[in-house]
A = this chain, B = another copy of it.
Amino acid sequence: MVFKLNNQLLSRMAIGDGHGENSSYFDGWKAYDSDPYHHQNNPDGVIQMGLAENQLCFDKVEEWLKKNPAASICTPEGVAGFKDVAIFQDYHGLPQFRNAVAKFMGKVRGDRVSFDPDRIVMAGGATGAHETVAFCLADPGEALLVPTPYYPGFDRDLRWRTGVQLVPIECDSANNFKLRMEDLEAAYEMAKLNNIRVKGLLLTNPSNPLGTILDGDTLRNIAAFTNENNIHLICDEIYSATVFGKPDYVSIAEIVDEDRKSGRNGLNLDLIHIVYSLSKDMGFPGLRVGIVYSYNDVVVSCARKMSSFGLVSAQTQHMIGSMLSDAEFVEEFLGANRARLAERHGAFTGGLGRVGIRCLRSSNAGLFVWMDLRRLLKEQSVEAETALWRVIINEVKLNVSPGSSFHCSEPGWFRVCFANMDDETMEVALGRIRAFVAKHKEAMKPARKLCAQSSLKLSFSGRIYDEFIMSPRSPIPQSPLVRART
């Protein structure tokens, strides 16, 4: 009775499940929430390794804050600015904030490229930034191509309220999950055959969940492809400051710059857009600093109007504006961030390696590894992956994320986050993995032949596509639905 009433009275959006949060993958979160690990109070609890948080440099931030009380509007030194900040609602943002973020984005890219503060548009985190871009680029029913595996939140952020579709491009381990031009072309053609209007390609570079970056040539080829086909290229670069090892990171901004400087001007810049955020690079997801940086003036103008729905709190703009204006701090923070991520990554993958567990080898970025447990699967299927995942959660007591939750077509891969904990907790996690592997020694022997690629290819017929959207393969494990830890 009540449901019928709601059915009639609310929107389809309110009663549908386009938000993607009814997934079985939330079980991992529930397991963690009901039994969280604590080294003293709950040493047998579940360790949270499903959260791509960057907690390694807060000492640097706290140190800076103590030295810069005037950066806050809540200190005796800064309170005189409270009123002006509290009433500030220009959606261009505080000039200092915009300038500092633009400069920071350049600094993260080794100052090889610069960003125009007038193209910095605020949004409510990368979540809001992605939705804004989707609203600007595509009408309901139109689509964006996305290489798999990809961050499952995209299914909500880009699709839910916009009506935009995501069309996956399958990548696999045979090529270290790197996007191949032929797969991009095939997916584009297949979508067209199925009467899906493709408006663009969404790349995550560095990749979540892979922790890899795209090399310059691949990025150039991709940009040439989108350019030739007159479709947009959206680059999610929210992990750009987490590149901790060689080779160097190449941002789409550098490809743009290179094209401009060469005088070729072969790229239509109206087609290129960057999504940025401080949630991963600085570790501030709670501050909700999302950025749309577009080279297209109409998109800048429209996105800025949309930012009224997700403006960054002026209190936060003020603090971030001050903090990122301090060139010395930025330099030190970025250096420490890279060094500590490299160290943690080395320690964690080293520990895994010693018990015979490999991770995707080309990884040199991100807050996670892409762990290969294919040899532990009973069979090469999503069901077997899910069964193994439940063992990891319930017996090993680690909340990791299975590859299928990232739309990975090849079973047996898991994303394991390593930067949201201290060294001791990481050691406990490694110890548990060690014990688990000891029980499965046989399976871990490298002799066994692997299924390098799933035989399942998604077709784009309407029916299957709908199932793809609504199936349990479309969850949001890395959702903000986590319990408060304050």
Query: Is A6 part of the binding interface, using a Cβ–Cβ cutoff of 8 Å?
Result: yes
**Nearest Cβ on chain B to A12's Cβ, whole angstroms:** 6
> What is the minimal beta-carbon distance from A85 to any residue of chain B, in angstroms?
6
Q: Which of B6, B69, B124, B484 contacts A74 (CB 8 A)?
A: B69
Chain B nearest CB, measured from A323 CB (Å): 10
Chain B proximity mask over A1-36: 1 for CB below 8 Å, otherwise 0? 010011001111111000101000000000000000
Nearest residue (CB) in B for A323 is B74
| B residues near A306, Cβ cutoff 8 Å | 19, 161
Chain B proximity mask over A181-219: 1 for CB below 8 Å, otherwise 0 = 000000000000000000100000000000000000000
* A309-328 contacts to B (CB < 8 Å): 309-316, 319
Would you call A446 an interface residue if the criterion is a C-beta within 8 Å of the partner chain's C-beta atoms?
no
A319 to B299: give the CA distance in the assembly, Å.
34
Closest to A315 in B: B316
CB atoms of B299 and A14 under 8 A apart: yes
| Interchain nearest-CB distance for A118 vs B (Å) | 14
B89 and A286 contacting across the interface, CB-CB below 8 Å: yes
Interface residue A255 (Cβ < 8 Å from any Cβ of B):
no
**Chain B residues with CB under 8 A of A88:** 285-286, 484-486
Q: How large is the interface on A (under 10, 10 to 19, 20 to 34, 35 or more residues)?
A: 35 or more
Please pick, from B12, B69, B87, B231, the residue contacting A75 in the complex, using a CB distance under 8 A.
B69
Bound: A308/B481 CA distance, A: 9
Instruction: Check A247 for interface membership: any CB of B closer than 8 A.
Output: no
Task: Decide: B136 and A484 in contact? CB cutoff 8 A.
Answer: no
Which listed residue, B87, B127, B483, touches A283 by the CB 8 Å rule? Answer: B87
Q: How far is the CB of A339 from chain B (nearest CB, A)?
A: 19
B76 touches A66 (CB 8 A): yes
Answer whether residue A385 sits at the interface, using C-beta atoms and an 8 A cutoff: no
Residues facing B in A203-260 (CB within 8 A) are 230-232
Residues from chain B with a CB closer than 8 A to the CB of A403 are none
Which residues of chain B have C-beta atoms less than 8 A from A391's C-beta?
none
Q: Which residue from chain B places its CB closest to the CB of A282 in the assembled complex?
A: B86
Given contacts A14-B137, A124-B124, contact A285 B66 (CB under 8 A): no
Given the known inter-chain contacts A66-B79, A75-B74, A286-B86, please indicate yes or no for A128 contacting B94, CB distance below 8 A. Answer: no
A311 CA to B313 CA, complexed, in Å: 10
Cα–Cα distance between A124 and B296 once the two chains are bound (Å):
25
Confirm or deny: A170 has a beta carbon within 8 angstroms of a beta carbon on chain B: no
Asked if A436 lies at the interface with its beta carbon under 8 angstroms from chain B, I say no
A-B contacts, 24 listed (Cβ < 8 Å)? A5-B268, A6-B296, A6-B298, A9-B231, A9-B270, A10-B296, A11-B137, A13-B135, A14-B299, A53-B87, A62-B83, A66-B76, A75-B75, A81-B486, A84-B485, A87-B286, A87-B420, A88-B286, A90-B480, A91-B480, A124-B308, A124-B310, A287-B313, A287-B314
